[in-house]
């Protein structure tokens, strides 16, 4: 997937009438949606500075093929802005990450075909849709069980940079906008 510039991102926000903040987080879901691959992009925007990371915005094959929730795997709804829905906290009580603190909207994919589907089955709530890393020590090539619906960076060094940028922003709450590839 291509990389997006500050101007391209800002123009997309204008097109969708989304809020543009001095510091915010943006995910771009790949149109290819390669099953079980980290094929999405994650950005921080601070003033006019854009930092890009590799990530997934979809659940891994582990959660798409077996039932964690009887309604199906959580797939965060794209082309939507989630204002102040994350704070720095502990992912599953283990390490510092961005943890969900306000309701978000997810699609529920329960057809177990191993591909992330944006279905009509929508649900709003607190689901633990965190923004975290995969492996602590290595770049992960496959999503597998790293994401049950979370937004996950596959490179631990990039994740450390993301967390440092969030801390440097001085914010207590973080807005995340998830867009489809454009």
Element holding 14 (H helix, E strand): helix 6-15
Who's near 117: CB < 8 A, 6+ residues apart?
75, 107, 109, 111
User: 19 to each of 29, 65, 100, 101, 176, how far by Cα in Å?
Assistant: 19, 36, 19, 19, 10
Residue holding tokens 């097109």?
Answer: 15
Domain-located, residue 39: yes
- Is 171 contained in some domain? yes
The DSSP symbol for 124 reads E
pLDDT at 179: 98
Predicted structure pTM score? 0.95
CB 144 within 8 A of CB 60: yes
DSSP tag of 77: P
pLDDT in tens, 143-158: 999 999 999 999 999 9
Tell whether the model's pLDDT for residue 67 goes beyond 80: no
Average pLDDT, the chain: 96
What is the average per-residue pLDDT within 50-65?
A: 96
What would the pLDDT profile of 15-45 be if each residue is shown by its tens digit?
999 999 999 999 999 999 888 999 999 999 9
The count of domains in the chain is 1
pLDDT category, 121, cuts 50, 70, 90?
confident
1 located within any domain: no
Residue 178, phi then psi, degrees to nearest 5: -105, 120
Checking if the pLDDT of 119 tops 90, the result is no
Cβ(135)–Cβ(155) below 8 Å = no
Residue appearing with tokens 């177990």? 112
Torsion of CA 12, 5, 38, 32, to 10 degrees: 50
Domain that holds residue 99: 6-180
pLDDT of 92-102, one tens digit each?
A: 999 999 999 99
Per-residue confidence band for 68, with pLDDT thresholds at 50, 70 and 90: confident
Residue 52 is predicted with a pLDDT of: 98
Residue 45 CA to residue 71 CA, distance in Å, equals 34
What's residue 5's pLDDT? 97
Count how many Cα atoms sit within 13 Å of the Cα of residue 126 in the half-sphere of its side chain.
6
């Amino acid at each position: 997937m291509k990389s997006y510039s500050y101007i391209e991102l800002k123009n997309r926000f204008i097109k969708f009438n989304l809020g543009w903040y001095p510091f915010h987080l943006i995910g771009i879901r790949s149109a290819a949606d390669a099953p079980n691959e980290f094929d999405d992009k994650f950005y921080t925007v601070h003033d006019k500075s854009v930092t890009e990371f590799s990530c997934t915005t979809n659940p891994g094959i582990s959660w798409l093929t077996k039932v964690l929730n009887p309604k199906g795997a959580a797939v965060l709804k794209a082309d939507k802005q989630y204002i102040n829905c994350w704070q720095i906290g502990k992912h599953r009580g283990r390490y510092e990450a961005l943890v969900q603190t306000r309701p978000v909207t997810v699609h529920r994919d329960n057809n177990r075909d191993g591909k992330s589907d944006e279905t009509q089955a929508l649900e709003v709530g607190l689901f633990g849709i965190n923004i975290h890393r995969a492996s602590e020590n290595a770049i992960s090539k496959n999503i597998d069980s790293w994401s049950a619906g979370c937004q996950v960076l596959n490179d631990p060094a990039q994740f450390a940079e993301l967390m440092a940028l969030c801390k440097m922003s001085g914010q207590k709450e973080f807005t995340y906008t998830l867009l489809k590839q454009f």
